[in-house]
């Protein structure tokens, strides 16, 4: 995610970064292509993708990248906490 108030950062630039990350893991996926989805909030924009692992280790494997302008922001520790508290429902 990139905070909307950051300068020199565009939605298209972020989308390119996420697509590049998707392309790196695509050879390990069942799918042949990746679809990026918008992730929008009141103060953030972002993109995500979901792929099926060819050789899954467990039920659900999640990776997450948080890029932020300052490490002192309260957003930095909150983002992983929110993900850690998420639950998976079949």
pTM greater than the 0.75 cutoff = no
Tokens 């924009």, residue located: 45
CB atoms within 10 A of CB 10: 11
Separation of alpha carbons 17 and 24, rounded Å: 11
What domain range is 14 assigned to?
2-84
Most confident segment among 8-12, 18-22, 73-77 = 18-22
Q: Report which of residues 2 and 49 the model is more confident about.
A: 49
**Distance, CA of 58 to CA of 66 (rounded, Å):** 23
Domain tally, the chain: 1
Q: Is 89 part of a structural domain of the chain?
A: no
80 in a domain, yes or no? yes
Structural domain includes residue 11? yes
């Amino acid at each position: 995610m990139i905070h909307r108030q950051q300068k020199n950062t565009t939605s298209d630039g972020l989308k390119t970064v996420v697509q590049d990350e998707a392309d790196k893991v695509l050879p390990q996926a069942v799918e042949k292509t990746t679809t990026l989805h918008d992730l929008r909030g009141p103060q953030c924009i972002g993109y995500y993708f979901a792929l099926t692992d060819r050789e899954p280790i467990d039920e659900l494997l999640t990776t997450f990248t948080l890029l932020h302008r300052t490490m002192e922001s309260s957003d930095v520790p909150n983002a992983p906490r929110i993900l850690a508290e998420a639950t998976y429902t079949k």
